[in-house]
Amino acid sequence: MTTPAVHPLTESFTADPDHSSLQAQMRHMGVGSFRTAFDELEARLEAGSGGPRLTGRVRVESIGIRRPAEFRVHIVEGEDFFDARNHPQITFESRRVQFSEDGTVAVDGLLTMRGVERPITATGTYLGPVEDIYGDRRAALDLRAEIDRRDWGMTFQAELPRGGDVLAWTIELSAHLELVAD
């Protein structure tokens, strides 16, 4: 059991876009894993009198799926997937960020996709801050969460010839944020 610590933040941070990522993974065809990442990520971890606050957003169009082109169009624009024409961003806003003495962190917040806002909890680790070779202060936040895509209206599904789903309903989200102090 971890002991909650006084939050270690005394300054606010912005994610370094070149060293931060949001990845998604789900079971594919019942045997493999389909993995992708979003290239355009913005995030902030802010210190404040009310406790730490984490916010983030990605552009759906920046998803790493490139081919086949029809597949990309369906995932990005399809009404049973991201529907990016109507909902171009995925956003997150924390309600609680709890650091523990052992370096673990739990983040409760609201994830909005396709215009649907739902609570999620992500857990992971926090490291830093340290001074980098340029004199900036850096920290890292690695978080993981599982969601059921149906909760956000992502209802595409097809059945395999001998039973089972083409895509799992559960999506594993993984965020790595390398943060630079303001």
Identify the pLDDT of residue 133.
Answer: 94
The torsion angles phi and psi of 154, rounded to 5 degrees, stand at -90, 90
The torsion angles phi and psi of 61, rounded to 5 degrees, stand at -60, -20
- Give the Cα-Cα-Cα angle 76, 35, 13 (nearest 5 degrees): 85
Identify the pLDDT of residue 33.
Answer: 84
Identify the pLDDT of residue 3.
Answer: 45
Identify the pLDDT of residue 36.
Answer: 78
Multiple choice CATH, 13-181, 2.30.110.10, 1.10.240.10, 2.40.128.110, 3.40.50.10470:
2.40.128.110
Identify the pLDDT of residue 18.
Answer: 92
Identify the pLDDT of residue 19.
Answer: 93
The residue whose two tokens read 């303001």 is: 182
Identify the pLDDT of residue 95.
Answer: 95
DSSP per-residue codes, 41-95: EEEEEE--TT--EEEEEEEGGGBS--SSHHHHHHHHH-TTTT-TTT--EEEEEEE
Identify the pLDDT of residue 34.
Answer: 84
Residue 57 and residue 42 in contact, taking contact as beta carbons nearer than 8 Å: yes
Q: What is the mean pLDDT of each run of 10 residues along the chain (182 residues)?
A: 54 93 86 82 90 89 71 72 82 94 94 94 92 93 95 87 86 94 92
